[in-house]
Structure 1
C-alpha cells in the first residue's frame, strides 16, 4: 500500500511494480489454494466462506491441513486479496511496460478466483486485461467497408465505442453522428480525470463478434475474438438508442484508437467471409 501511494505521488511505477504485483500474484494463488483445500476437505454442499478474517480460527486451520503457518497464510490471502487492488491499479494504470511485463501472468489467477464469486476483483481484472498497441480489424456492415486500427489503454468497451465513433464517423469514413468533443476528451486526455462529469456519450454502433453475438459495452476490448491472428470486430446499426456517462473506467489511463489504413475492397470481402454476417458489400466497390 505504501509503494502504491508513492506511485500515486509520482514514483516510478516500473520500479514499484515488482513487489506490488508479486504480492498480488502470490495472494491470488494462495486464495485459490485455500478454496481448493476447503472444497477437498468438506461436504460437497459446503459453500466457500466469506472473505472475513473473523472466520480464521483453529477449526478452519485444521480443516486446511498442513503446517499451521502455511494454513494461516492461505486463510489471510483468502480474506485480504481484494486489498491489493489499489496499489496494483496504481502501477498498472500508469505504465504500459508494467502491464506488458506482468498482466498475462497474473490475469488467469485473477479470473479463476473471481469465478468463485466470493471476491470483487473487477477493477483488477479489467486493468490486467487492458490491451496496448493492439491491432484490430473493424468491419462496418452497413457500408461494407473495413479498417485496420490500433488500440491501447482502453478500460472498457464504452470507451472503445466512443473512440471508434470519433475515428470512423468523425473522420468521415462511415455515416452517423460523431461523439461530442468533450466525450472524446474524457476518453483520451493524458491528464487524469478529476471527479465525475455529467457528459453523456451516444452510441453509434452495435458491436458484434464475427459469429454475430453482441459484444457488450460493459465488456472489454479483450472480449473481441481473434481470427487469423487479428482481433475482428463488426460494427452494425444500433438496434436502439443508447447513451452512457462519458467518464472512462480508469481515470489515470487515457485510451487511444488510431486508424492505420482503410482496407481494400478485396481485403474487406475476405474478412467479411470469415464472419457469419454476410459479405457486407452493399456500398463497397
Structure 2
C-alpha cells in the first residue's frame, strides 16, 4: 500500500490528540488516540518518531499505570528509530523504578496470601483468583514489568545513557530485580544484563600457557560469549597468542555487524582464585583486583561452540588492546593466581 503525505500525517496528529487527552484527563479520548498511534506507528517517518519520542516520554508520569507501560514501549520503539535516548530515558527509568516497587509489593502479597507458584508476568496468566489475592494495583505492576523491561533496554542500548546513569540508581534497580527474582523465581535477565553492562572498563587478561599479559578496555559487552570471541579476536587474531582466531565476520557481529555466525571457543576463562568464568554470565563476573578486572586464559578443557554475536543486537560492543604487559609484571600477576578448580 502506498501512503500519501496525508496518511503519514495521521501519526503526529494522533500523538497530539493523545497529549491533549492526557492533559485534560479524558481517558476515553486518550484510549482512542492511543489506538490511532498504534495503527499508524509502522508507517510513521523516522523524523516524526524522533520528534514525538521525547513528547511521549514526558507524558509517562501522568498516564495511568496500565496504559503507561504501553506508552513506555512506544517510547522505546521511537528510540530504536532515532529518537533521542537521553531525552527519553529519565522518565522511562522513573517509571521502571516505580513498577519494580509495585512488583515487589505483588511478591510480598503473594507470599502473604498462601504463596505457591507465581503466575507468569503476563495478563493471560493472571486468573481472577490470583487478582483477588494481590489486588489490582499490584497485579498491574507485575504483568507490565516485561513491557518496562523492553522500554528500558531500548534506552540502555545507548552508550550515552549508560555512562550518565547514576550508579546509585543502577544499583537500586539491580537490587530490586534481585529481590523480585529471589521471591518469585522469575529472572528478568535482559534487564538485569543491560544494567550490568560495563563501559570503558579496564580488563587484565593473563594468558597462562604463554606467560603473557594484556591490558584491554571493554565497552558495551552484554555477555561472556561476546567477550570470549572478542578476546580471541584481539589476542589470537592480533598475533599475540597461538590458536585459531575468529573470522572477520565472527568478530564483526560481536561489535556492530548484524546477525550471528557459528564460532568455537579458544580459551577457558578463569578468575584469579581459580573459579571458572562461565560464558553464560557477564563481564561483571570477573573480579576486580587492585582496581582492575583480572581474568586468566587457560586452554579450553573441551571443544565448545556457540553463535557469535551480541546479547543485545542494538548495542555496539568493543574490546581494544591498550598495552602488552612486561614479562616481570605478568609473572607477578600469574604468581598470585590459583590453578583452575
TM score, norm. by length of structure 2: 0.71
Q: Higher helix fraction: Structure 1 or Structure 2?
A: 2
Q: Distance in 1 between matches of 2:303 and 2:339?
A: 22
Aligned match for 2:298, one of 233, 236, 241:
236
Aligned to 2:229, which of 162, 170, 174? 162
Using the TM superposition, give the Cα deviation of residue 97 of structure 1 relative to its aligned residue in structure 2, in angstroms.
Answer: 3.2
5+ residue gaps, structure 1: 65-70, 279-285
Alpha-carbon distance in structure 2 between the residues aligned to 1:185 and 1:140: 23
Report deviation, 1:50.
Answer: 3.9
For residues 7-18 of structure 1, the aligned pairs below 5 Å read: 7-18=79-90
Q: 2:312 aligns with which of 234, 250, 254?
A: 250
- How far apart, in 2, do the equivalents of 1:48 and 1:242 lie? 35
- State the superposition RMSD in angstroms: 2.3
* Structure having greater relative contact order (Cα 8 Å, sep ≥ 6): 1
Contact 1:169 1:176 in 2 (8 A): yes
One of 80, 105, 111 as aligned partner of 2:178? 111
Question: CA deviation digits over 1:2-48, x for unaligned, max 9?
Answer: 21121111011011001111111211122112212332x334x6444
SS of the counterpart of 1:11?
A: coil
Structure 1 residues 235-277: Cα deviation after superposition (integer angstroms, max 9, x where no partner):
0001111111122111111211111111122222222233212
Q: Which residue of 2 aligns with 1:129?
A: 196
Question: Against the structure 1 CA distance between its residues 77 and 56, is the aligned structure 2 distance closer, same or farther, given a 3 Å change threshold?
Answer: farther
Secondary structure of the corresponding residue to residue 253 of structure 2: helix
Q: Distance in 2 between matches of 1:142 and 1:13?
A: 44
User: Which of 137, 152, 161 in structure 2 is aligned with 1:97?
Assistant: 161
1:224 aligns with 2:286: yes
Distance between the aligned counterparts of 2:333 and 2:160, measured in 1? 30
Q: Who is 2:146 aligned against?
A: 82
Deviation at 1:72, TM superposition (A): 3.0
- 1:25 equivalenced with 2:97 (yes/no): yes
Which SS does the other structure have where 2:153 is aligned? helix
CA offsets 1:150-187 (integer angstroms, 9 cap, x no match): 10101111110111111111111111111101101111
Q: Give TM-score, length-normalised by structure 1.
A: 0.84
Q: Measure the CA separation in 2 of the matches of 1:33 and 1:154.
A: 32
Give 2:205's match in structure 1, choosing from 138, 146, 151.
138
